[in-house]
Structure 1
Amino acid sequence: MRELTLYVGGMGCRRCVREVTARLRDIPGVRTVVADAATSTVRLGGSMTVEDVLDAFTGTTYRPELD
């Protein structure tokens, strides 16, 4: 299982965490999503591609960066 950690600029509250988590959960291959508003990070586990993960943020105000 692949693991990715993202820093997501703009994700600083519980509502943001819910929105980001919902977007990432729908990506093919994602098995786990753990988001932390305090550090603006998200840990993903599964067989997803980096491209699909970054594409999930298209059209949003969030700014994801691979850690």
Structure 2
Amino acid sequence: MENNVLNGMDQVDPNLRDEMLAELFLNKVMNDFKRSKILEEIDQSLKDKDKEAFLRLTQELKSVVY
């Protein structure tokens, strides 16, 4: 999919293309960070044997775009 996006971007204004790529990059970085933090919290909930937190966090993890 990413290749299709990049191939189609040849027809887009260079400034707009750069802005779009920067936005895609930032979204990816933010989602990776969110996933990392949620996974750390899931690990902690397992250590604490906190079932409610575990269930809430696993649902939250599912909602983060990968």
TM-score, normalized by length of structure 2? 0.30
TM-score, normalized by length of structure 1? 0.29
Rg larger in 1 or in 2? 2
Highest RCO, 1 vs 2 (Cα 8 Å, sep ≥ 6): 1
